[in-house]
Amino acid sequence: MESWPNDAGFDTDYEEHNSVELTVKGKIPPYVAGVLYRTGPLGFKAQTYEKKTWAANHWFDGFSCVHRFEISFPEDSSAPRVCYNSRRTVDELLDAVRKTGKLDGITFGKQRDLCESFFHKVISMFKPAAGPQNVGVTVSINMPGGQKGAQAINEHSNRVETLHLKTDASIINQVDPETLEPKGVCRQKSLHPSLSGELSAAHAETDPVTGDIFNYNLELGPKATYRVFRTLFSTGKTDILATFNGKPAYLHSFFLTKHYVILCVWNSHISWGGLSILYHKNILDAIAPFDPSSKAKWYVVGRAGEGLVATYESDPFFCFHTINAWEQPSSSDAKKTDVVCELSLYENLDVVHRFYYDNLMSTHEASKAYAGQKRNSCLARHAQFRLPVVEPRNASSKPLPAEVLFKSDPMIAQELPTINPSYATRKHRYTYGVADRLKSTFFDGIVKFDNVTQKAIFWDTEVHTPGEPIFVADPEGVEEDDGVLLSVVLDGVEKKSYLLVLRAKNLLELGRAEMKGPMAFGFHGTYKALGRN
């Protein structure tokens, strides 16, 4: 494995509180005019007031930040103008770390400051989690229910009225959509009193037609309880679609079709009914070892009030990110319905340990030792499952088998997957994401995967590390891949990043907007067109 320099994307404090104009090269299509938000960790080290250095261990535990790119086309010029600003959203958390030299509360990975005695660890289990929160995995524009007591936002609005950050807990952080200053944290319980559980999916699903938002809430305990819920775009009202007991698990995402919500409890089970999270104070140690004999269980919930309508089982696997799901005539009876679910699949849990900073940073000795077989077992596969003949029946009956349609070679698969958003909940052909072909300690390209041919094409440049691509459709386009991809890329030699614009059809560069410093490697983003419906 080559050592592509990437440390500047992890160990950085670069942010721009005031908007700065970027240097634009090439030609960016006018229809890209809009705003792109990115979120994720910005740095993972803090100097304490005692002049010591505190550092998080895991990439998922870095200090949350929001980035904003505004792309505009002045009336008197055909040349685009791209402006950038960014801001950490964890001022209180940073101050607490500087004061105490530790990060209290639940983290994703194990922290160096967790050196308590057994007695103190057990006592701390019974103390309610309090203090500042580190929330910043996904970002939602104009999220329904996001303003308590407010009227729903007009569906034809071209403005960014609200901006919310989410994580895999049932907490939501609101920030100012322009200055990015934090405005306050709330819990899902403010949406509905039954949503009192601790965990949820960072990736809520949105219906592309109605704008309604769906998620689950997981209440830990001896009988862990899942509640699947919907928040209506038109009114902001939240209702519970189904409540059922199941094995508690770390589930970062799920599936949505026109008529169903599908929650797959894959094999990231949390031990002790969830109490292990309180004991270990991190998610990774709380997840039980991968059990190859334990089936993944699929729960199908009706969106029209039918509750839990069917269950399925499949061989065990793990997943961070689902891609899409859709309904189609059944392969056994055209009058009935199958559901196809698409995701980036892992054969085991090795990947959750991959994202410790020591394993990711190119100059760290641990990243060199992590190469080889350890890395090979951390590669995703593009996969599809079929849930045959989905129809209401006794949900407590024996689960039916979920069928594997295909699993791709990992060399042509992707992580941080995305599609043309207008194809959500219906059959699509193309998926875009970041590639991992073992060329570096992190990601090494952008990939476009074709479901029909099961082949892929790539964009890559030596020592340039891309982030998640976001699809922006050409409003005059007729094909699914008529549009562009927006990705933020780090030049590992220059230690500066740029906003890359690729033609989605062939992954050829159209233009870029060069930044003045390195943007921290982040997780996810979202885009909203400005100036048109």
Read off the pLDDT of each residue in 349-369 and give the average, rounded to a whole number: 91
Listed range (207-221, 297-311, 367-381) with the worst mean pLDDT: 367-381
Contact 472, 504 (CB under 8 A): no
pLDDT, the chain, mean: 91
pLDDT digits (tens, 9 = 90+) for 81-111: 999 999 999 999 999 999 999 887 889 998 7
Q: Report pLDDT digits (tens) over 322-347.
A: 999 999 999 889 999 999 999 999 99
Residue 190 has a pLDDT of 95
Q: Is residue 2 domain-resident?
A: no
Question: Is pLDDT of 192 > 90?
Answer: yes
* Residue 1 placed within a domain: no
HSE, CB side, 13 Å, CA atoms: give it for residue 353: 13
CA count, 13 A, side-chain hemisphere, 497: 26
Three-state DSSP class for residue 480: coil
Domain assignment of residue 94, given as a range: 7-529
Give the pLDDT of residue 110.
86
- State the pLDDT at residue 519: 98
Residue 371's pLDDT band (boundaries 50, 70, 90)? confident
Which phi and psi angles does 488 have, rounded to 5°? -95, 125
CB neighbour list of residue 119: distance below 8 Å, 6 or more residues apart: none
What does R_g of the chain's alpha carbons equal in angstroms? 22
Q: Which residue has the higher pLDDT, 151 or 77?
A: 77
State what percent of residues in the chain have pLDDT above 70.
Answer: 91
Query: What pLDDT shows up at residue 129?
Result: 47
Tell me whether residue 68 is in a domain.
yes
Count the neighbouring beta carbons within 10 Å of the beta carbon of residue 193: 8
For the segment 28-50, the average pLDDT, to the nearest whole number, is 96
Task: For residue range 471-490, list pLDDT tens digits in order.
Answer: 999 999 999 999 999 999 99
> Given this model, what pLDDT does residue 367 score?
87
List residues forming the annotated binding site.
203, 252, 321, 524
The two structure tokens encoding residue 201: 């999916």
| Three-state DSSP class for residue 358 | helix
Q: Identify which has the larger pLDDT, 39 or 367.
A: 39
Write out the DSSP string of 94-151.
Answer: HHHHHHHSS--S-BSS--TT----HHHHHHHHTSPP-S-----SEEEES-TT-STTPP
What's the rounded mean pLDDT across residues 289-317? Answer: 97
Q: Which residues are known binding-site members for Fe cation?
A: 203, 252, 321, 524
Identify the pLDDT of residue 391.
84
- For range 144-165, the mean pLDDT: 67
pTM of the entire structure? 0.94
Q: Tens of pLDDT along 204-254?
A: 999 999 999 999 999 999 999 999 999 999 999 999 999 999 999 999 999
Assigned token pair, 510 = 């159209």
Q: What is the tally of structural domains in the chain? A: 1
pLDDT over 90 (residue 125): no
456 within domain boundaries: yes
- Pairing between β-strand 400-401 and β-strand 307-314 as defined by DSSP bridges: parallel
Tell me what pLDDT residue 2 has: 55
Where does the pLDDT of residue 355 fall: very low under 50, low under 70, confident under 90, or very high at 90 and above? very high
Distance CA 275, CA 282 (A): 11
Note the pLDDT of residue 394.
60
Average pLDDT over residues 195-208: 97
Q: How far apart are CA 473 and CA 504, in angstroms?
A: 9
Is 60 contained in some domain?
Answer: yes
Q: What is the pLDDT of residues 436-453, one digit of tens each?
A: 999 999 999 999 999 999
Backbone torsion region of residue 494, taken as left when φ is above 0, otherwise alpha when ψ lies between -120 and 50, otherwise beta? alpha
Beta 53-55 vs 45-47: how paired, if at all? Answer: antiparallel
**What mean pLDDT do residues 151-171 have?**
78
